[in-house]
Amino acid sequence: METDGSQAVPILKLDGITKRFGALTANGDVSLELHRGEILALLGENGAGKTTLMNILFGHYVADEGKVLVGSNDGDLSALEPGSPNAALVAGIGMVHQHFTLAENLSALDNILLGTETLSALKSARLPARHKLENLMSRSGLTVSLDTRVSQLSVGEKQRVEILKALYRDARVLVLDEPTAVLTPQESDTLFATLKKLAEDGLGIIFISHKLAEVLASSHRIAILRAGRKVADLPSDGCDQRQLAELMVGHEITETVREPNQPGAPLFVLNGIFAGQGRDVLHDVNLELKSGEILGIAGVSGNGQTMLARVISGLETAARGSIQLEGVDLGKASVRQMIDSGLARIPEDRHRDGVVGAMTVSENLAIESIREPENQRFGLLRFTELRERARNLIKSYDIRCQSENSPARLLSGGNIQKIVLARTLETEPKVVLAAQPSRGLDVGATSDVHKRLLAVRARGAGVILISEDLDELLRLSDRIAVIHRGVLSAAEQTEKLDRGTLGLSMAGHSEEDAA
């Protein structure tokens, strides 16, 4: 439907964008082009500058050098006013942020309408908007219940509202920041199908990702950022995952491999656990972890994983059911008793529950063993020993920080996770509860976490791995159980499972449905 002539002129052009935050160069001389109907994947590790670049495009940040050019309908390029989201919106750029920018107290319709009407208008014109949206929804397949308050919508629906926000403003360029981070595999497939359809209608799409498989499957072209610079810009056809990963990381990657081993005796047992109320519940959960085993728990977030982790770590007491570690009942145990009996936790929200941001690295490393005689005498902390120990751990776990005395909040997510790992694994626990241990981490930090967990397994302890990342679960776990709406399925040998069946059970379909 488009002639080749108009294909030649890009609808969006980033020209030599440089952005510095203090000493850090987040983007160095990055140039990009996007054409009508094209899906461009922007690939890179955390901290590679993908989100910064898109925030400059959308006017959240102002670039120190370089400019953003937008193509008009008749093919001329004109510079976009920097630092103004409104200018970007007017120029037809729509952005779906990783953290949704929705007002939860308003309906989906009102969120879409927000900012599209003059503020001095005496009445919100909801009726014509509804007609336009119904039209858009039937054309694009993005259906949302318009009158529902956003707080009542599921994550997938919220994302659809975000995309509709852009389409409602007749966006010509759609930017999505890590759109699949919060979706089930099936939802992701649907999303990419929709994006393909929108691209065929002429929309230019940029999506940010660090997942290689989806980038290869769903984009026309791939631009790779590393340490703020563009290191590759190539058509997706003919690329493979290995090549992309190496471009992204900058060196060769060694895969973590799970050595086969024979799991030992049952170590940690949950029996008929009921807990929680509302959405975060557990309903008759049974689980048996053997020594020398990694037991994976798959599920879309919000299906009871958080409650499961809280119950296992002793933060929540189950209403019914029993918990046993090596035959000792821990049903009513406190967090302290859990830790003392050899249970270590890697919390889901490492920034909130993993470290105390205002405290130093060395204090954070000692925080769970602060009562041990090597850390205190007569109730007074032994700072010299604490620092000494911290320095050793910083070295052996490769924690990148200025010194053991820097506040933990200054560290990156990957290094905060290393603090958590160092603290919990140094005590040689019998059971490790790892909740979303690699969420938001880049390839390097993720492989580090994986190696540590496999080492725990190799020395005969057990790991409960709660994750939404199917690749991670399939690679590390000996057995996998699926949690859906607070019900945990029976664990199955990983060899018998694949992404498809796991994805279906995560979405709540039983095997009979799938067949």
Partner 1 sequence: MSEIFEILLSANFWAASLRIATPLIFGVLGALVCERAGVLNLGIEGIFTAGAMAGWMAVWLGAGLWGGVMVAAIAGGFFGLIHAILTVPLGLSQHVSGIGVTLFATSLSYFIYRTALPDVSSPPRIEAFQPLDIPVLSDLPFLGTALFQQTSLTFLALLLVIVTAYVLYRTPLGLAIQAVGDNPSAVESQGLSVYGLRIGAIVAGSAIMALGGAFLTMSAFDAFFFGMVNGRGWICIALTVFASWRPGKALIGALLFGAFDAFQVRLQTEIGSFIPGQIFLMMPYVLSIIALVVVARRADYPRALLVPYFRGQR
Site for partner 1, rule CB under 8 A: 55, 58, 60-61, 85-86, 88-90, 95, 97, 99, 101-106, 110-111, 113-124, 165
Contact 466, 434 (CB under 8 A): yes
Minimum distance of partner 1 from residue 132's CB (angstroms): 16
The smaller minimum CB distance to partner 1, of residues 90 and 458, is found at 90
Minimum distance of partner 1 from residue 86's CB (angstroms): 4
57's CB contacts (< 8 A; 6+ apart) are 12, 14, 68, 88, 93, 95, 175
The residue among 454, 484, 448 whose CA lies nearest residue 253 is 448
The smaller minimum CB distance to partner 1, of residues 103 and 381, is found at 103
Minimum distance of partner 1 from residue 50's CB (angstroms): 15
Beta partners for 189?
A: none
Minimum distance of partner 1 from residue 129's CB (angstroms): 11
The smaller minimum CB distance to partner 1, of residues 123 and 131, is found at 123
The smaller minimum CB distance to partner 1, of residues 121 and 257, is found at 121
Q: Which residue has the tokens 């190696």?
A: 451
The smaller minimum CB distance to partner 1, of residues 174 and 453, is found at 174
Token pair, residue 112, equals 């879409």
Token pair, residue 364, equals 């954070």
Minimum distance of partner 1 from residue 286's CB (angstroms): 35
Minimum distance of partner 1 from residue 401's CB (angstroms): 22
The smaller minimum CB distance to partner 1, of residues 129 and 473, is found at 129
Minimum distance of partner 1 from residue 151's CB (angstroms): 9
The smaller minimum CB distance to partner 1, of residues 36 and 165, is found at 165
Q: For residues 239 and 233, what is the distance between their CA atoms, to the nearest angstrom?
A: 11
The single-letter code of the amino acid at 501 is T
Enumerate the H helices of 45-116 as residue ranges. Answer: 50-57, 85-90, 108-113
Q: For residues 70 and 57, what is the distance between their CA atoms, to the nearest angstrom?
A: 10
The smaller minimum CB distance to partner 1, of residues 14 and 434, is found at 14
The smaller minimum CB distance to partner 1, of residues 90 and 455, is found at 90
Q: For residues 428 and 342, what is the distance between their CA atoms, to the nearest angstrom?
A: 8
Q: For residues 429 and 344, what is the distance between their CA atoms, to the nearest angstrom?
A: 6
Task: Cite the beta strand spans of 330-477 per DSSP E.
Answer: 343-346, 376-377, 380-381, 431-435, 462-467
Token pair, residue 71, equals 């193509």
Token pair, residue 367, equals 């925080």
Exposed/middle/buried for 371, CB within 10 Å: 0-12, 13-18, 19+? exposed
Sign of CA dihedral 217, 51, 301, 159: negative
Minimum distance of partner 1 from residue 135's CB (angstroms): 21
The single-letter code of the amino acid at 403 is S
Q: For residues 115 and 123, what is the distance between their CA atoms, to the nearest angstrom?
A: 13
Token pair, residue 238, equals 């003919």
Q: For residues 493 and 16, what is the distance between their CA atoms, to the nearest angstrom?
A: 51
The smaller minimum CB distance to partner 1, of residues 103 and 319, is found at 103
Minimum distance of partner 1 from residue 169's CB (angstroms): 9
Contact 287, 491 (CB under 8 A): yes
The smaller minimum CB distance to partner 1, of residues 64 and 246, is found at 64
The residue among 442, 182, 441, 438 whose CA lies nearest residue 296 is 438
Minimum distance of partner 1 from residue 291's CB (angstroms): 41
Minimum distance of partner 1 from residue 29's CB (angstroms): 21
Q: Which residues of 3-13 are buried (b: 16+ CB within 10 A; e: fewer)?
A: eeeeeebbbbb
Q: For residues 28 and 64, what is the distance between their CA atoms, to the nearest angstrom?
A: 10
Token pair, residue 245, equals 């990963």
The smaller minimum CB distance to partner 1, of residues 102 and 449, is found at 102
Minimum distance of partner 1 from residue 53's CB (angstroms): 13
